[in-house]
Amino acid sequence: MKTPITIRQELPQDHTNVYKLIRAAFASVEESDHSEQDLVERLRHSSSFIPELSLVAETGQGELVGHVLLTRIRIINDAQTFPSLAVAPLSVQPSWQRQGIGSVLIREAHLRAAALGYGSAVLLGHPGYYPRFGYLPAHRFGIRFPFDASADCCMAIELLPDGLKGVQGKVEYDPAFGI
């Protein structure tokens, strides 16, 4: 890493820079519809938003170079509803990618989510990236997603011991996701 990076909670005065950062991060991502920055704006106004789990990575010079958002979701089946989190999106400024910032953001987000009592998280992501943090294919836990996506891209992780024990069902996202 070029300089020490601090991970901290996003503040209202960061919103404009976070918007630009997310837009830049996804600009050349083929699978993206390039609207992730708007999703974050919507999620901030939704009941799924957890201010403590919208995190930015900041350089010593005060430049925001990364962001991650974890929001509340539910995993539901005919009999039960379980609270969990969705990791979406994760963004690193293109000139700062592949220097460990995404990894630091994810790991810190997991620690903070666990400290808040959240036992698990799910995401749709690249199977070449997220398993290093402990993510497993969600179907191994009996968790399904409400859209068609390659099974190995649909992942889940236990943030607390046995955080997904007995948790089975379909992921229900906040309406802000438009799913």
Ligand X SMILES: CC(C)(COP(=O)(O)OP(=O)(O)OC[C@H]1O[C@@H](n2cnc3c(N)ncnc32)[C@H](O)[C@@H]1OP(=O)(O)O)[C@@H](O)C(=O)NCCC(=O)NCCS
Shortest distance in whole angstroms from residue 162 CB to ligand X:
26
Contacting residue, 23, 103, 107, 137, with ligand X by CB under 6 A: 103
The smaller minimum CB distance to ligand X, of residues 45 and 98, is found at 98
Closest CA to 114 of 53, 72, 159, 155: 159
The verdict on whether omega for the bond into residue 127 sits within 30 degrees of 0, i.e. cis, is no
Q: Return the number of other C-beta atoms located less than 10 Å from residue 2's C-beta.
A: 10
The smaller minimum CB distance to ligand X, of residues 59 and 91, is found at 91
Show the site string, 73-102: x = touches ligand X by CB under 6 A, - = not.
Answer: ----------------xxxx----xxxxxx
Shortest distance in whole angstroms from residue 57 CB to ligand X:
9
With CB under 6 A as the rule, give the number of residues binding ligand X: 18
Two tokens, residue 170: 């379909």
Shortest distance in whole angstroms from residue 139 CB to ligand X:
18
125 near ligand X, judged by CB under 6 A = yes
* Paired strand residues for 70: 87
Query: 146-172 burial by CB neighbour count: b if 16+ within 10 A, else e?
Result: eeeeeebbbbbbbbeeebbeebebebe
The smaller minimum CB distance to ligand X, of residues 90 and 159, is found at 90
Show the site string, 10-29: x = touches ligand X by CB under 6 A, - = not.
Answer: ---------------xx--x
4 near ligand X, judged by CB under 6 A = no
Closest CA to 72 of 178, 179, 173, 175: 173
Helices (H), 58-167: 101-115
Residues that bind ligand X (CB under 6 A): 25-26, 29, 89-92, 97-103, 125-126, 128-129
